[in-house]
Amino acid sequence: MPVRKAGYGIFGLVFWIAYLLPGSTVRATFASLSSQSGAASVTRLFHKYVRGFLLGVDRIEQVRHGYTDAIDAMLRIPEEERLKGLLQQGGLLLLVPHAHATLAMGRGLAARYPLLALVRSTSDKRRATAELQIYENLGCEFLDIQSENPTKVARKVLKALSDGQMVVAIADRIRDAPRPEQPVVASRDLVRATSFGEPVGIAGWPGRFAWKASVPIVPATVVQTNSTISLHMGAAVTPTADLVETTQSWVDELERLIKSHPDEWTFALDKHWSKALRGSGKID
């Protein structure tokens, strides 16, 4: 614990140096996020973000090392009856952002419900090994979509959904937006959508799989305190044959949830989202 706390202190210091540097893109990103979400103070929003990030890292480390009983007990689902009702009707696709406590939430959720988690490991072998320890301790079946064959992923996801299971995926990874005249790029599984007022390219598979399996898409986010980890669900999206429309619907709902708890959104400082939030109009 003392070693971890010292390491977290260094993490926090690095964050604040990046924020305070003249011309900081970190500060510009949070100024935009603050404006978009209606936060009263940019600096206070960033302060809460850093504290939440460090708390989330500590909880991920607990999961990685197998200290999961306390994590399991922290989970709160304010609308758990609605979640149970949706599962009684069949499978569902739960889409969450990169929030500070998303992985820890996944551990608590798997302790209550059978689920399939879709994860994406890094290409760095050392980090991938550490990530694998986390995924193995989630207590559920998981698929690494970075290394698995796409056909196998599609088959297992569709089977899980068709069997009435919950499939959980982190879905806020973005790329350069496809052109307006070609909003769907099947070869890259990208769909053009608008988020935070900017065009982005986001994964099309949630809309395709949900439509094929006839299950709802439920965007959600994760909010933590010192003693709890809460899963907040948004409105369910009924998929249609129109992939662009379906994708925009769940992106809108996920954005609404992120704006409700902007300090919890780890990916605010992702290089792609930072550019989008700052209104660059271009994502490399």
Instruction: Please tell me the predicted confidence (pLDDT) of residue 179.
Output: 96
**204 secondary structure, DSSP code:** S
CB-CB neighbours of 61 under 10 Å? 16
Q: Rounded distance, CA 277 to CA 58, Å?
A: 27
CB-CB neighbours of 70 under 10 Å? 12
* Closest to 113 measured CA to CA, from 137, 84, 155: 84
Q: Is residue 245 within 8 Å of residue 164, measured between CB atoms?
A: no
Helix (H), strand (E) at residue 92: strand 92-96
Q: Rounded distance, CA 247 to CA 271, Å?
A: 22
Instruction: Please tell me the predicted confidence (pLDDT) of residue 149.
Output: 87
Cα–Cα distance list, 223 to 12, 34, 36, 87, 242 (Å): 20, 17, 19, 22, 32
Instruction: Please tell me the predicted confidence (pLDDT) of residue 203.
Output: 96
- Whole-prediction pTM value? 0.94
Q: Rounded distance, CA 186 to CA 208, Å?
A: 11
Q: Mean pLDDT in runs of 10 for the chain (284 residues)?
A: 73 94 96 96 97 95 92 97 96 97 96 94 76 90 87 94 96 96 96 97 97 97 97 98 98 98 97 91 50
Which class for 91: exposed (0-12), middle (13-18), buried (19 or more C-beta within 10 A)? buried
Q: Rounded distance, CA 116 to CA 238, Å?
A: 20
Q: Rounded distance, CA 12 to CA 16, Å?
A: 6
And the tokens for 239? Answer: 């998929």
Q: Rounded distance, CA 265 to CA 255, Å?
A: 10
Q: Rounded distance, CA 152 to CA 156, Å?
A: 6
**176 secondary structure, DSSP code:** P
Q: Rounded distance, CA 212 to CA 112, Å?
A: 27
40: left (phi over 0), alpha (psi -120 to 50) or beta: alpha
Instruction: Please tell me the predicted confidence (pLDDT) of residue 280.
Output: 59
Residue environment code for 136-158, b if the CB has 16+ CB neighbours within 10 A, otherwise e: ebbbbebbbbeeeeeeebeebbb
Q: Is residue 274 within 8 Å of residue 25, measured between CB atoms?
A: yes
